Structure 1
């Protein structure tokens, strides 16, 4: 069986929180081959709450640590694509990573391995079934709207 190719092509577009703060939406392009497997049916969200600056963004120290966490997550799941990060939302005091996974149990084990290399982080998790990738489709509308501006 051939290894599943996971796109490394990303886009970023601005969006706005209800209070007017900037939200940077970063999405992964070219995910149809992953969707077509019909195995990535669980959507998981990992949310990091931070103290925002006046524009709702993290400070440099927090942002740098977030990028290190992102790199570690990518390294883990590129080697073993039991889950894939499809989107990242940053702003208004939150960074939210969106994953699609094949197994909740395996995702939990893998993400705990990744996070064990960092100090305790202010993270919360949410999971639900989303076999049609509805959140991903909605997120992709942000890129389309940004291109139309």
Structure 2
């Protein structure tokens, strides 16, 4: 299975009316159909938002660093696949599909060890049908060029 790096970006809004950018990864059909990635892990970073609900520049930069480290660590042997990133409304959420939550957690701790304590929380759920991903993929029709 070849992992693409093709993404789309769409705009949505929170229940409070703040803008949310949605970045979704495309071309993951083989991974969905493989049946190997049955668990979803979501990492949420709550932040102090500007008036539009977006992170301040310094925090946004740190989030980008964390995302790059996480994606590299999780995808190096296809343990987990970053499928979507939601930013806005005072939080950033990274969505991964993983082969095993236990090893995902171990690798998460290893990957983030060089950072000072981050304000993140982790949620996991069994999602063998990739329901969250398929819902997010429907937003592609509103993609920003």
What TM-score range do you get, normalising by the shorter chain?
Answer: over 0.9
Aligned residues: 144
Q: How many angstroms apart in 2 are the aligned matches of 1:95 and 1:80?
A: 25
Q: How many angstroms apart in 2 are the aligned matches of 1:117 and 1:79?
A: 18
Tell me if 1:50 matches 2:47.
yes
Q: TM-score, normalised by structure 1?
A: 0.93
Q: Tell me the secondary structure at the aligned position of residue 32 of structure 2.
A: helix
Residue aligning to 2:139: 142
Deviation at 1:35, TM superposition (A): 1.1
Q: TM-score, normalised by structure 2?
A: 0.96
Question: Which runs of 5 or more residues in structure 2 are unaligned?
Answer: none
1:76 to 73, 76, 83: 73
Residue aligning to 2:128: 131
Question: Which runs of 5 or more residues in structure 1 are unaligned?
Answer: none
Deviation at 1:77, TM superposition (A): 2.3
Residue aligning to 1:33: 30
Q: How many angstroms apart in 2 are the aligned matches of 1:19 and 1:74?
A: 30
Deviation at 1:91, TM superposition (A): 0.2
2:100 to 99, 103, 115: 103
